[in-house]
Amino acid sequence: MLILGIETSCDETSAAIVEDGRSVYSNVVVSSLKEHQQYGGIIPEIASRRQLECITPVVDEALAKANVSFDDIDAIAVTQEPGLIGSLLVGISFAEGLAVSLNKPLIRVNHIHAHLYASALKDHDALDLEHPLPNLPAIGLVVSGGHSSLFRVTQNWQFELLGQTRDDAAGEAFDKVARILDLGYPGGPVIDRMAKNVDKTDLRFKCGQMDQPYDFSFSGIKTAVLYHHQKNSENDSYNKSEVVHAFQKSVVKDLVSKSLRACLDQNLQTLLIGGGVAANSHLRSELQSACDSENISLHIPAFRLCLDNAAMIAGLAFYRK
Ligand code: KG4
Ligand code: ZN
């Protein structure tokens, strides 16, 4: 079964062709990120205007790259929620019009759930061609710009929420810390790179702890970085790499310990991660060693499938048909 996926929840316009929820034939992603960078965050009006311009050529390119036509497509999938309303409307209206005119089914997919599905996709450009399917049930950790949540993922890719952030999402904290330190937007990739300039530091920042074992809080650590910066940035010894190293270390430790705790509490041997922060190299390596020592099988999406993309939407849609 061939599904055409469409994703327009934030600044990206993406279309993909995926077979049977598994093989990615094409996955075209166009981002308007550069136009937002001067404002330090996404401007919804700019995002949706660009998506209106891009959606038709992006869908055409996804079909051409997969070497298929509209006739070969069995269903159309689209991101239903969550996201910026103007951006979602572009994708949903386009997909609804396409489904009616081609007389094909339309499948609406939750963006957050789809991030966790990304680890099940076989990306043709990746080296790992065998790419094993995750065994379900599993624990799933979604860490993106807008969400940080832990799920129990059951058979047929159903999602049961175990915990989530009470304030900022993990990606949001990376973006805000980068803004405080004047490192540009988005903050995740630059912090990831800069943190590697330092091996060790005595500097410590702590993530907030909640009554609920699977809930997160990242707003306090961002404020701690702000106060530290205000107090010390004029000192000769002040080193931004040290600050981001300590910040990243603490966020990663919190994400790893809560994910592992959920696996052990629920007696599950599979952990899935997804979302933009899953691209973080320190998180990937720390999760891998923690999972190795507990005999837990870790499934991380190919690097380019961590960020927003339509392949994950077309993939999960196969289980919603
Ligand atoms: O999943 P995503 O592409 O969009 C949303 O659905 O939000 O995630 C974007 C977020 C941004 O906050 C960005 O700073 C973060 O993912 N991000 C990273 C890295 N690459 C992107 N965070 C930490 N380390 C990275 N390497
Ligand atoms: Zn996302």
pLDDT band at 124 (very low <50, low <70, confident <90, very high): low
| CA-based nearest residue to 174, from 53, 33, 278 | 278
Q: Dump pLDDT digits (tens) for 144-195.
A: 999 999 999 999 999 999 999 999 999 999 999 999 999 999 999 999 999 9
The residue whose two tokens read 């070497």 is 67
pLDDT mean across residues, the chain:
95
Q: What is the CA radius of gyration of the chain?
A: 20
**DSSP conformation class of 313:** H
pLDDT at 127 over 60: no
269 CA to middle of ligand 1, Å?
A: 26
CA separation, residue 314 to residues 53, 65, 209, 247 (Å) = 22, 16, 36, 35
94-110: average pLDDT:
98
274 CA to middle of ligand 2, Å?
A: 9
pLDDT band at 14 (very low <50, low <70, confident <90, very high): very high
To test the ligand 1 pocket, which listed residue (7, 116, 174, 191) has its Cβ within 8 A of the most ligand atoms? 174
pLDDT of residue 40: 83
Task: Give backbone dihedrals phi and psi of 84, rounded to 5 degrees, phi first.
Answer: -75, 130
To test the ligand 1 pocket, which listed residue (277, 305, 313) has its Cβ within 8 A of the most ligand atoms? 277
Note the ligand closest to the C-alpha atom of 312: 2
- Taking the whole predicted model, whether its pTM rises above 0.85 is answered as yes
- The rounded distance, in Å, linking the Cα atoms of 97 and 99 is 6
231 CA to middle of ligand 2, Å?
A: 34
| CA-based nearest residue to 48, from 6, 7, 90 | 90
217 with 309: CB under 8 angstroms?
Answer: no
Give the rounded distance of the alpha carbon of 229 from its chain centre. 28
The set of residues, in sequence order, having a beta carbon less than 8 Å from that of 66 and lying 6+ positions away, is: 17, 25, 26
- The rounded distance, in Å, linking the Cα atoms of 54 and 215 is 37
